[in-house]
Amino acid sequence: MSTVSMSLDAIYALAHDTMTANGCDEANAAALADIVMRAERDGSHSHGLFRVPGYVKALRSGKVDGKAKPTVTKKTPAVVHVDGHGCFAPLAQAVGLPVLAEATAEIGVAALSLTGVHHFAALWPETEFLADRGLVGIACTAYMPMVAPSGTREKLFGTNPISFAWPRPGKSPVCYDMATAAMAMGDIQIAARDGKTVPLGTGLDADGNETTDPAKIAAGVLLPFGGYKGSAIALMVELLAAGLTGEQFSYEAKANDNGDGGPPRGGEMIIGLAPELIAGDGWEDHVEAFMDRMSSIEGMRIPGARRHKNRLDTGPRNINEALVTTIRDLN
């Protein structure tokens, strides 16, 4: 695979300029470019520049409004809602997360529902936003049906990622962001592009047979991680991100989508909790004693540690050259 070296500023500029060239205003382009750059910085390649062609498809088809202005409503002191009015999710998050953080810090528990958004990015930026302010963050979103419930071969669930972040004052937070599928579809697509195989149990081909060929899985169906356990968590995400927000379930998103290859309209649920108010004084020391005990186990890696280590390197990143060419041709 041929790569090209790009600075983080160059990655941001490429994403930003591509968005503005295809109809985004400054606010939408900046929010999206920031998320793309941060994904590449942290090594989350499936949510970085790899997503830009899909963003452009959604803009060009008119499915996404690149000039939308999200609006915030506080339904109660602890319930915040953002209507994205058809924007990509990062701008709606940027508008709503400060309000959620303030409500959580004041009350102890608060929720933010996003509707009318198109989510195509990682979830950890939302939960880390809360953790960086001393709060616990939980976020989840549905997508289009790509995953068969345990014991079946029919697509019903999205890859339905969920993210959790726990604050560690003075240290990087505990943070994970994972699909409830055995593998995220973006990683499947990158494996297919790069000619790699994936573990058996990741998904089935179009005929319902197990395969390690990611291209055949992309044309077939993904499986949930952990069998019925992952399937149950995927169901929970559908209910939180669609049932609780009032937005589309994955199967509804598929039925109402225009098939342009970009992200469908959907919802996201973000929940904040304040350990200082809930657990009280001494919560940091109590948790850090547990973290020290866990870290002492040989082979143990704290969730999020790899991304946070990558983040310390502010140097250039090696990006797939064909992808960069494709994106530049979109300008």
pLDDT of amino acid 120? 84
Cβ atoms within 10 Å, residue 169 = 12
pLDDT of amino acid 261? 84
Q: Which residues of 275-310 are buried (b: 16+ CB within 10 A; e: fewer)?
A: beeeeeeebbeebeeeeeeeeeeeeeebbbeebeee
pTM strictly above 0.85: yes
Q: What are phi and psi of 239, to 5 degrees?
A: -70, -40
pLDDT, tens digit only, all 331 positions of the chain: 799 999 999 999 999 999 999 999 999 999 999 999 999 999 999 999 999 999 999 999 999 999 999 999 999 999 999 999 999 999 999 999 999 999 999 999 999 999 999 988 999 999 999 999 999 999 999 999 999 999 999 999 999 999 999 999 999 999 999 999 999 888 999 999 999 999 999 999 999 999 999 999 999 999 999 999 999 999 999 999 999 999 999 999 999 999 998 899 999 999 999 999 999 999 999 999 999 999 999 999 999 999 999 999 999 999 999 999 999 999 9
The answer to whether the beta carbons of residues 272 and 109 sit under 8 Å apart is yes
Domains and CATH numbers, the chain: 3-181+224-281+304-328 (3.30.1370.60)
**Angle (deg, nearest 10), helices 8-21 and 321-328:** 30
Q: Would you name the residues annotated as active-site residues?
A: 46-47, 187
pLDDT digits (tens, 9 = 90+) for 278-325: 999 999 999 999 999 999 999 999 999 999 999 999 999 999 999 999
Antiparallel, parallel or unpaired: β 109-118 and 79-88: parallel
pLDDT digits (tens, 9 = 90+) for 48-79: 999 999 999 999 999 999 999 999 999 999 99
pLDDT of amino acid 232? 98
Classify the C-alpha dihedral 310-27-60-261 as positive or negative. positive
Cross-strand pairs, 112: 80, 270
pLDDT of amino acid 262? 87
Antiparallel, parallel or unpaired: β 203-204 and 221-222: antiparallel
